[in-house]
A and B are shown apart, each in its own frame.
Chain A
Amino acid sequence: MQLTGSQFTNASAMAGNDVATFPDFPAEIRAPKGTRAGVSGFQVQFAADEIFTPGDELDVLVAMNPAALVTNLSDVVPGGLLLVNEDSFTDKDLKLAGCHTNPLEDGSLDSYRLVRIPMTTLTRKSVEDLGLSTKLADRCKNFFAMGLVYWLFGRELTVTLEFIQAKFGDKAEIAQANERALRAGWHFGETTEIFDIGYRVAPARLAPGTYNNVMGNQALAWGLMAAARQSDKDLFLGSYPITPASEILHELSRHKNFAVRTFQAEDEIAAMCAVIGAAFGGAMAVTTTSGPGIALKSEAMGLAVILELPMLIVSVQRGGPSTGLPTKTEQADLLQVLFGRNGECPMPVLACRSPADCFDVPVQAWRIATRFMTPVIVLSDGYVANGAEPWRIPRLADLPRIPVRHPKATDDGRPFHPYSRDALLARPWAIPGTPGLMHRIGGLEKEDPTGNVCYNPENHQRMVNLRAEKVERIADDIPRQQVHGPEQGEVLVLSWGGTFGACATAVEHCLQQGMQVAHAHLRYLNPLPANLGDLLQQYRQILVPEWNRGQLRMLIQAKYLRATIGLNKIQGKPFAVQEIVDKIQTIHDCQVPK
């Protein structure tokens, strides 16, 4: 392990990062292999900025056996990545490490991102044809682990390849085996889509309460379960696995005792359609995916809009286009979810700003969906989804009730009209099984209010407008947009989604420098809060930092005819606070008359 660690240090130094190392040798050098005392660790920190504290917290732990896992676990940050050699978690290994239950299975690793990898098997496979003894082959597995970590952090293999040649050059097959294992580890990382970045927030003063560390996808799953409870509904999830959304499927699949039904469909189209079927049947129906999945779901999402049934569509964004950068974050699917459907096809859109926020947003989204009878989109992103942060556990009694009504037949002899509307323009959610309310719905244009198929031109325009107006009116039902900072000033930073942490910290920093700057972070992207237009008038310049080429900016400029400035980072990684501070500074300085 020590050898592995120093190699990684070298590779990181080559990459231009500041590096601090903290070799953690076992005190008892001869401690038996596999026992806790015999764990050999090597911790490497690397960062773009200067490092002051080597060896305090770990973002990634590579554990070659149970002993290594349990001894180092307390140093790993919540939401940190555990890369575990699952081949060495046999009963014998567990006993050696003094584990009574298998940590990979007993739930004790729930607040980490656990990746189980059969490292021994894969390493042996990678050197199979070299004719090494098993013992020699198994020695290569540290290089496998190293290859994986190199991939994760985008380190070059070259330095280590040279090292292998220099060190083992005279033993050709050993050199070759180590090189094979190193490359196999790298390739494993690439093909299995392990997410490399975690959300980090500066430690802040926390409001009184009981806290749990949650990861974004986990909080999102819990939020969905809470929304189901608050509306007295059973939750149905129709989903198809995709990075970085799959953990929501995994998490919900574990909670069958909450009557959560999860359905892994044959593709995203089927997942979306199953959700439509479940919504028709009266369930709280949800689908979870990422951008490529949304592309497949689009036609069915249009059906959901014209059916006017409540359901949630969760998109955890990743780098695009196409398969793009599956394990990197981006927020370039805003326009996709707003406009990526045929016809006039409006859908409300909400976005999560942090891991803990992933709990609240689905609850609000489901409230809107049921109150207005509409599908609703929840946006998250890879950074938020894989990050962890302290979450104040709500009391169930404090969560909003989400009342849902299913009509019954009346005796007044009047026919049932599935497209009659209430004051909010919502139609009744009449579900199969209700005597006397039999009706047919579908994707063909509906007659207002009977719901019968109708090709009348004026009716079509009326229905298009009704569907649009219904969504627009949600603006009167959501909170007014708040700002942090002065109500008027030079610069407003307008942000949405996972950029929250960096934007908020940057604005705070600038405020302390005495700048006239404020921050507005949007949760509701469609419709936008009713007061947003007026609010934008209160600042001389609007800065919109986004992980895309300016999608929110385009919306704002189109809707409010207000020029804005973009700060656009499309590198698959979050903003550094300083990048935003610098930009604010530039704008601020050229605005304030000297």
Chain B
Amino acid sequence: MSSADLPVLTAAQFASDQDVRWCPGCGDYSILAQMRRMMPRLGVPLEKIVFISGIGCSSRFPYYMNTYGMHGIHGRAPAIATGLKAVRPDLQVWVITGDGDGLSIGGNHLMHCIRRNMDINIVLFNNRVYGLTKGQYSPTSPLGQVTKSTPMGAIDNPLHPLSIAIGCEASFVARSIDVNIKHLAMVLQRAAEHQGTAFVEVYQNCVVFNDRAFQYATDRETKLDHVLELEHGKPLVFGKNREKGIRLNGLNPQVVMLGDGYDEQDLLVHDEQATEPSLAYLLSRLRHEDGFPEPIGVFRAVDAARYDEELNRQIQLAQANRGIGDLEQLFHSGDTWTVTENENTV
């Protein structure tokens, strides 16, 4: 049966029978809704989809999808997904993780999962705080953030999820925001369709422990000045009236006013397919606190060898070259000898 013949699913069919238990107003609801809404577009049957998560508020996600799912242990979802995908390349595998889950306790697995480039989609819900454990700072909390465990402000430098993904040679890197529902659905769909590890960071509001952390990027009045929507092949333009742009000054990005001596031709042009990840990395370093708009959309989408494919290719190759393995033959390899009944009676 080709996917064209499959019955068209609805968003409701992707909802499990479990009550969703996040705090009212939590950004996770929106991400869940967009995932359920986007899924039918992929034409993949429910039973072929698996969501795997670690531990955290975000990691409750699999319970709410009417697909196969596993709520794992803290930080290890990428490793669980790797094993599953290695033996079941036919499945569509998603990893749901948080900023603590993915970048603190699970940083090592995230890094190795990305570099192997298996066909896995990773969605990191970044609320810049530990939600489930009630409000400690996280590896993405900005310097100075006051939390229960940093009453005088955080003093360790934050990590930037996309910079890390790009540093691990990610073949697909994207960002969206919980409340930008159309954009978020688009980004999730692009991630699903990408072959290889797709890494998506979603800015997610934790109403209880870090409310309004992304207000600059979501506030109706200011968001167009603080967010830059990436489009492949288009110059980096942003602002309420699309009056600003980003150009390169030497090796450094610079915000310029269009018309003020610069026009669109002076601006950086986005190229998500660039083989060199330098542009994507530069974009991942644009920070609101440094006076830059923060890009959303697809930073990078390139083709690269995939571990899952290579693993199975080696099996086929070995079977073609050596024949399908025969245990009897293996057991008799090397120097064997036979003991007969007679020898035994002496």
Task: List chain A positions with a Cβ less than 8 A from chain B.
Answer: 107, 110-111, 205-213, 222, 225-226, 229, 234, 236, 238, 255-259, 261, 263, 265-267, 269-271, 273-283, 285, 299-300, 302-303, 307, 393-394, 396, 432-444, 452-453
Which residues on the A side are within 8 Å of B334 (C-beta)?
Answer: 110-111, 212-213
Interface: B50 (CB within 8 A): yes
* A275 with B71, Cβ < 8 A, contacts A256-B315, A257-B325, A282-B88 known: no
Q: With A and B bound together, what is the CA distance between A307 and B76 in angstroms?
A: 15
Stretch at the interface among B171-179, B180-188, B194-202, B337-345: B337-345
Of the candidates B85, B86, B111, B317, the one having the most CB atoms from chain A within 10 angstroms of its own CB is: B86
Closest 5 CB pairs of A and B: A442-B71, A274-B83, A277-B83, A258-B325, A273-B79
Q: 18 A-B pairs, CB-CB below 8 angstroms?
A: A210-B337, A211-B338, A236-B87, A255-B330, A256-B315, A256-B318, A266-B109, A271-B79, A273-B79, A273-B80, A277-B52, A277-B79, A282-B88, A302-B73, A396-B327, A438-B66, A439-B69, A440-B51
Which residues on the B side are within 8 Å of A299 (C-beta)?
Answer: 73
Q: With A and B bound together, what is the CA distance between A280 and B85 in angstroms?
A: 10
Interface: B251 (CB within 8 A): no
Q: With A and B bound together, what is the CA distance between A576 and B16 in angstroms?
A: 62
Interface: B84 (CB within 8 A): yes
A208 touches B50 (CB 8 A): no
Interface: B262 (CB within 8 A): no
Nearest B residue (CB) for A109? B334
Q: With A and B bound together, what is the CA distance between A208 and B330 in angstroms?
A: 20
A440 touches B327 (CB 8 A): no
A443 touches B335 (CB 8 A): no
Nearest B residue (CB) for A267? B108
A432 touches B338 (CB 8 A): no
Stretch at the interface among B25-33, B40-48, B253-261: B40-48
Q: With A and B bound together, what is the CA distance between A208 and B62 in angstroms?
A: 56
A259 CB contact (under 8 Å) in B67, B68, B82, B319: B319
Q: With A and B bound together, what is the CA distance between A272 and B70 in angstroms?
A: 15
Q: With A and B bound together, what is the CA distance between A279 and B325 in angstroms?
A: 22
- Residues of B in contact (CB 8 Å), total 65
Nearest B residue (CB) for A430? B68
Min CB distance A193 to B, Å, is: 23
Interface: B328 (CB within 8 A): yes
A206 touches B63 (CB 8 A): no
Which residues on the A side are within 8 Å of B151 (C-beta)?
Answer: none
A259 touches B108 (CB 8 A): no
* A270 with B76, Cβ < 8 A, contacts A206-B339, A439-B68, A440-B68 known: yes
Interface: B236 (CB within 8 A): no
B332 touches A212 (CB 8 A): yes
Which residues on the B side are within 8 Å of A205 (C-beta)?
Answer: 344
Q: With A and B bound together, what is the CA distance between A259 and B324 in angstroms?
A: 8
Interface string of B98-119 (1 = CB under 8 A from A): 0000000000110110000000
B336 CB contact (under 8 Å) in A110, A211, A267, A302: A211
Interface string of B187-216 (1 = CB under 8 A from A): 000000000000000000000000000000
A396 touches B344 (CB 8 A): no
B67 touches A438 (CB 8 A): yes
Nearest A residue (CB) for B87? A283
Nearest B residue (CB) for A256? B318
A438 CB contact (under 8 Å) in B47, B81, B311: B47
Min CB distance B252 to A, Å, is: 35
Interface: B304 (CB within 8 A): no
Which residues on the B side are within 8 Å of A441 (C-beta)?
Answer: 69-71
Which residues on the A side are within 8 Å of B52 (C-beta)?
Answer: 277
Which residues on the A side are within 8 Å of B67 (C-beta)?
Answer: 438
Q: With A and B bound together, what is the CA distance between A82 and B332 in angstroms?
A: 22
A442 CB contact (under 8 Å) in B62, B314, B338: B62
- Give 11 new A-B contacts, CB below 8 A, not counting A256-B317, A300-B73, A441-B70: A208-B339, A211-B338, A213-B335, A236-B87, A265-B82, A269-B76, A270-B76, A277-B83, A440-B65, A440-B70, A453-B63
Interface: B91 (CB within 8 A): yes
Interface: B220 (CB within 8 A): no
B86 CB contact (under 8 Å) in A229, A261, A307, A443: A261
Q: With A and B bound together, what is the CA distance between A167 and B310 in angstroms?
A: 58
Min CB distance A223 to B, Å, is: 11
Min CB distance A230 to B, Å, is: 10
Q: With A and B bound together, what is the CA distance between A261 and B109 in angstroms?
A: 19
Q: With A and B bound together, what is the CA distance between A203 and B67 in angstroms?
A: 58
A266 touches B70 (CB 8 A): no
Q: With A and B bound together, what is the CA distance between A300 and B317 in angstroms?
A: 33
Q: With A and B bound together, what is the CA distance between A205 and B82 in angstroms?
A: 48
Min CB distance B190 to A, Å, is: 24
Interface: B323 (CB within 8 A): yes
Q: With A and B bound together, what is the CA distance between A229 and B329 in angstroms?
A: 14
B63 touches A300 (CB 8 A): no
Min CB distance A389 to B, Å, is: 13
Min CB distance B313 to A, Å, is: 10
B90 touches A433 (CB 8 A): yes
Nearest B residue (CB) for A309? B70
Which residues on the A side are within 8 Å of B331 (C-beta)?
Answer: 212, 222, 393-394
B79 touches A303 (CB 8 A): no
Min CB distance A142 to B, Å, is: 30
Min CB distance A189 to B, Å, is: 27
B315 touches A280 (CB 8 A): no
Min CB distance A84 to B, Å, is: 18
Of the candidates A271, A307, A441, the one having the most CB atoms from chain B within 10 angstroms of its own CB is: A441
Min CB distance A525 to B, Å, is: 26
Nearest B residue (CB) for A270? B79
A438 touches B68 (CB 8 A): yes
Nearest A residue (CB) for B80? A277
A440 touches B73 (CB 8 A): no
Q: With A and B bound together, what is the CA distance between A441 and B16 in angstroms?
A: 13
Which residues on the B side are within 8 Å of A432 (C-beta)?
Answer: 47-48, 50, 68, 84, 88, 91
B338 touches A281 (CB 8 A): no
Nearest A residue (CB) for B330? A222
Nearest A residue (CB) for B111? A266
A270 touches B82 (CB 8 A): yes
Which residues on the A side are within 8 Å of B339 (C-beta)?
Answer: 206-211
Which residues on the A side are within 8 Å of B18 (C-beta)?
Answer: 440, 452-453
Interface: B333 (CB within 8 A): yes
Min CB distance A114 to B, Å, is: 13
Nearest B residue (CB) for A307? B70
Min CB distance A522 to B, Å, is: 27
Interface: B239 (CB within 8 A): no
Interface: B153 (CB within 8 A): no
* A255 with B325, Cβ < 8 A, contacts A270-B79, A300-B73 known: yes
A263 touches B332 (CB 8 A): no
Min CB distance A18 to B, Å, is: 31
* A261 with B62, Cβ < 8 A, contacts A437-B47, A438-B68 known: no
B86 touches A274 (CB 8 A): yes
Nearest B residue (CB) for A283? B87
Which residues on the B side are within 8 Å of A280 (C-beta)?
Answer: 50, 68, 70, 80, 84
A257 touches B68 (CB 8 A): no
Which residues on the A side are within 8 Å of B87 (C-beta)?
Answer: 234, 236, 261, 278, 281-283, 285
Which residues on the B side are within 8 Å of A437 (C-beta)?
Answer: 47
B47 touches A436 (CB 8 A): yes
Which residues on the A side are within 8 Å of B45 (C-beta)?
Answer: 435
Q: With A and B bound together, what is the CA distance between A222 and B333 in angstroms?
A: 12
Interface: B135 (CB within 8 A): no
B86 touches A209 (CB 8 A): no
Which residues on the B side are within 8 Å of A213 (C-beta)?
Answer: 334-335
Which residues on the A side are within 8 Å of B235 (C-beta)?
Answer: none
